[in-house]
Amino acid sequence: MKRNGQRPTLGPWVCAWIGKHLVHSEGDYLGQPFRLRKFQKSFVYRAYEVDSDGNRCFDRAKGGGKTELAAALSVAELAGPVVFAGWDDSGRPMGRSRTAPDIPIAAASYEQADTLFGAAKTMINEGPLADLFETFDTEIMPKDAAGRLYRVAAAAGTNDGRRPTFFVADELHEWEGRKERVHLVLSNGRAKRANAWELSISTAGWDPSTLLHRLYQTGMEGKDERFLFEWYEADGDLDLDDPEQRHKAIMQANPAAGDFLSAANIEARFHEISEHEWRRYYLNQWTSVPEQWIEPEVWEAAADRDRTVLPGDRIALGFDGSYSGDATALIGCTIDDPHLFVVGIWERPEGIKEWIVPESEVEDAILAACTTYKVISFPADDTFGRIWQKVLQSLAAKGVPVVEWPTRSPSKMSPACGQLWGAIRRDALTHDGDPLFTTHVMNCRTKTDRYGPRIVKEHSTSEKRIDAAVAGVISYDMAVRNAVTHATGWLA
């Protein structure tokens, strides 16, 4: 079919097949027939354009970070009419299924790859195709034909020798370092199959040296005729402090906004996370990561030095423990009307080389706090060497509500850091203005990866300590959790 001067395309065949055979895999539309939106159909039509000989016009495509559409195309490539099968009487291309399709779904980690693979699996198991496929934990195969769709991770050395007919690279901004070679290997393998192609999906990144940024530059230049580049990005000169211009930016970068994507929810996130992260994630703009976590003036504006935490107040008490090199910190956070305050910070005094944290003094401070306040939760990080294990066991035996909080887990730490950052920005959290606590917060630098931004030292051997900031993050996290528990009664 040729539309508005464009080339013939198998797009109508593919779209019709998806609508007839697949169901939505997530959200409010779970289990309902897969209804392609106009902007999705437009991409599919372009992706399946063919030349006068019926060959694919594009062998590479870069689309927006929409996992469900990529999953639908993966299943269509496994069993749908995606290969040219001649011209009908009206001169329009006809489609047929591919012979022995080989379809790896790849991401920077198995967990991320499983998100897309799981969507494809649900589309089959919950829809009309359920009886025609065998679905396993990492592989999907037709019962009566050759071919398979499977999950892989971008791990060097594990993807050599593949000859994919189609492959998806999910969240390409995370394919850094040696993982880039995996993309090259899969792409080279694709060249061994006729009319094979690849689809990369991702939101914008922050590192201009990455594979994603090079593809972004290629797409923006528009010189590679075999590369289909579809990228929704808001205008960079819009003033995000102006609500109307901010809404315009949201609509420019999110074609699904107002349909199955809530523009109001995106707007709300503007006030909850850092601007650079909001621009990257919701406006699809390339950004640089700010070095400092919280600006001095923002932290100072949140100080409430006159507030007194009263005996019996409900609190969470965050603990970040070390032995000698780093500091050990106890930071409390009131559960009602959240306020961070220092219970104790122990760090090596200047000019002294040989020093260890006074363990008994720290334990006494914890027990004293539990006597003074109603400590609802005692989140503790002791994941490095378990050096405080005996003390924590002793505290638990005395009734202290110890909760292990693994601060070295990016998947846990990144959202917790974002939560505190957003609360400070929204004036939803205050602190006592303690000078040493403030120094630790000011020492925090931001590291951003696929889990989002989180606090780190400026380098691994830095003498600028951040332990009190870490204790504050986990203390506030548990205060928020217990405030919800107290309010609703349904969270354990």
291 domain residue, yes or no: no
CA distances from 251 to 29, 203, 231, 384 (A): 22, 16, 13, 45
Please work out, in degrees rounded to the nearest 5, the angle formed at the alpha carbon of residue 202 by the alpha carbons of 200 and 207.
110
Q: Residue 403, CB half-sphere, CA atoms under 13 Å: how many?
A: 20
6 domain residue, yes or no: no
The verdict on 144 and 277 lying in the same domain is no
Quickly count helices (H) and strands (E) in the chain.
15, 18
What is the tally of structural domains in the chain? Answer: 3
The verdict on 203 and 328 lying in the same domain is no
Contact of 157 with 182, CB cutoff 8 Å: no
The verdict on 41 and 64 lying in the same domain is yes
Q: What is the DSSP letter of 231?
A: -
The verdict on 142 and 22 lying in the same domain is yes
| pLDDT on residue 492 | 32
- pLDDT one digit per residue (tens) for the chain, 492 residues: 444 447 999 999 999 999 999 999 988 889 999 999 999 999 999 999 999 999 999 999 986 557 899 999 999 999 999 999 999 999 999 999 999 999 999 988 888 888 899 999 999 999 999 999 999 999 999 999 999 999 988 764 555 668 999 999 998 888 877 788 888 888 889 988 999 999 999 988 877 778 999 999 999 999 999 999 999 999 999 999 999 999 999 999 999 998 888 999 999 988 877 788 889 889 999 987 667 899 899 999 999 999 999 999 999 999 998 876 678 999 999 999 999 999 999 998 877 778 888 999 999 999 999 999 999 999 998 655 567 888 999 999 999 999 999 998 988 999 999 999 999 988 999 999 999 999 999 999 988 777 878 999 887 777 889 999 999 999 999 999 998 654 433 333
| pLDDT on residue 311 | 97
Contact of 395 with 402, CB cutoff 8 Å: yes
How many residues in total does the chain contain? 492
CATH number at 144 reads 3.40.50.300
| pLDDT on residue 489 | 36
The verdict on 370 and 454 lying in the same domain is yes
Positive or negative CA dihedral for 197, 49, 113, 249?
Answer: positive
Give SS3 for 102: strand
Rounded Cα–Cα distance for residues 118 and 128 (Å) = 17
Distance of alpha carbon 264 from its chain centroid, rounded?
A: 20
The verdict on 92 and 202 lying in the same domain is yes
Element (H, E) at 76: helix 67-79
Parent domain of 429: 296-488
The verdict on 32 and 176 lying in the same domain is yes
289 domain residue, yes or no: no
CATH number at 457 reads 3.30.420.240
The verdict on 184 and 35 lying in the same domain is yes
Task: Give the bridge partners for 60, in sequence order.
Answer: 198, 227
Q: Give 277's contacts (C-beta < 8 A, 6+ positions apart).
A: 287, 418, 448, 452, 453
234 domain residue, yes or no: no
The reply to whether the predicted model has a pTM over 0.85 is: no
CA distances from 80 to 97, 125, 142, 385 (A): 5, 16, 12, 53
Distance of alpha carbon 339 from its chain centroid, rounded?
A: 29
Positive or negative CA dihedral for 107, 113, 119, 122?
Answer: positive
